[in-house]
Amino acid sequence: MENVQQTIKELESLKTDMVNKDFLLTWQKSEDEILATIKVAEALKSLFEKNVSTRVFDSGLAVSQFRDNSTRTRFSFASACNMLGLTVQDFDEGKSQLAHGETVRETSNMISFLTEVVGIRDDMYLGAGHTYMKEVAKALDGGHKEGVLNQRPTIVNLQCDVDHPTQSMADLAHLKNYFGSLEKLKGKKIAMTWAYSPSYGKPLSVPQGIIGLMTRFGMNVTLAYPEGYSLIQDCTDVAQSNAKKSGGSFQIVNSMEDAFRDADIVYPKSWAPFHVMEKRTQLLRTNDSTGLKELEKQCLANNARYKNWECTEEKMKLTKGGKALYMHCLPADISNVSCKEGEVQDTVFERYRVETYKEAGYKPFIIASMIFLGRFKDPAKVLGILAKSGKRRVGL
């Protein structure tokens, strides 16, 4: 338990204010709070691997609200909540009174009487997902203040139109482990690049989350995309500001080769152009199926102009020593495997496949950490109790 005790000691030195607070955007959290999230995740992971129970709740609900399809994040949220002792209840809007005009304020309170955390994924509508989460947060604040709710549940952003904090934080934990420490990330070049996909409408939140978080650790972040595939300006402004404060750098280029050159890490990932997501949002809200089909046709035709934006063996040779770490949030569009032509060449993906699985494996612990820090005022003390008890997770 030495590493757990060391983590607890380091956690005690951090100044955080996360109890009864939400985790919506990484750039809203202080550096100590980001570090605390990583450290608690590491402690929970160590305890789990040592077969020590981390069930800190005897009862309570964890409500999951997925307004878009999900595999990794959905199961990571369920795993995290179960690991902490919470029962997951999926909130299906189609089976709720929202269809009959129930307000967000009313619904938020009705699902939260015995709820400790509400996990929300809302990434389909540009300009709406993060706004919706703030609306839920306001409703919960009111319900708690008015005595309707005994406790104010923590909201965890499981992906919105602006950020994907559980993904970027899991990526950061993976990088910390891969390179040895967060300090060793300083000066490393990470290429967050657009990549070709035979599908459209993929959210902007993954690249925005990466540039918004990695620039805080002195990394040299290069964002690359073809002309017309820009991100939300506010997010690139955050990345620029973070890089200036951390001593790192942030630049935007329109060449995948330039981004890959001398990179330590590459993250080729498709996303839809900002203006396409704006138009798509309008069409979705008006249920314009004809307009959506036409938009998809136009977008796929435009994507096809950039099929050369693929992570290939040739491009990987441009990276530092030809051995940059390949990352992806998954599922990747793998050429000759999941599609004819896609984001990454099959041989490149296969070489890094296990690493991408390990990358994804940090997400349940990151989500559990976000919940843990949102519910306990003295997380170091609670972790110490778990470590001392040594209660077996499996077996007597």
CA distances from 76 to 119, 207, 303, 362, 364 (A): 11, 20, 31, 9, 4
In which residue are the tokens 């938009």 written?
295
Strand 189-193, strand 265-268: pairing: parallel
Per CATH, is 167-360 categorized as 3.40.50.1370? yes
Question: For residue 96, what pLDDT is reported?
Answer: 61
Looking at the DSSP bridge assignments, the partners of residue 89 are 63
Delimit the CATH 3.40.50.1370 region(s) of the chain.
2-163+363-389, 167-360
> Can you give the pTM of this predicted structure?
0.96
Question: For residue 101, what pLDDT is reported?
Answer: 64
Question: For residue 68, what pLDDT is reported?
Answer: 83
Interval 256-299: pLDDT, tens = 999 999 999 999 999 998 888 889 889 988 999 999 999 999 99
Counting as low any pLDDT under 50, the low residues of the chain are none
Question: For residue 69, what pLDDT is reported?
Answer: 84
Question: For residue 100, what pLDDT is reported?
Answer: 54
Question: HEC string of the chain?
Answer: CHHHHHHHHHHHCCCCCCCCCCECCHHHCCHHHHHHHHHHHHHHHHHHHCCECCCCCCCCEEEEEECCCCCHHHHHHHHHHHHHCCEEEECCHHHCHHHHCCCHHHHHHHCCCCEEEEEEEECCCCCCHHHHHHHHHHHHHHHHHCCCCCCCCEEEEEEECCCCHHHHHHHHHHHHHHHCCCHHHCCCEEEEECCCCCCCCCCCHHHHHHHHHHHHHCCEEEEECCCCCCCCHHHHHHHHHHHHHHCCEEEEECCHHHHHCCCCEEEECCCCCHHHHHHHHHHHHCCCHHHHHHHHHHHHHHHHHHCCCCECHHHHCCCHHHCCEECCCCCCCEECCCECCCCECHHHHHHHHHHHHHHHHCHHHHHHHHHHHHHCCCHHHHHHHHHHHCCECCCC
Which fold is adopted by the domain 2-163+363-389?
A: Rossmann fold (3.40.50)
Interval 208-217: pLDDT, tens = 999 999 999 9
Question: For residue 396, what pLDDT is reported?
Answer: 66
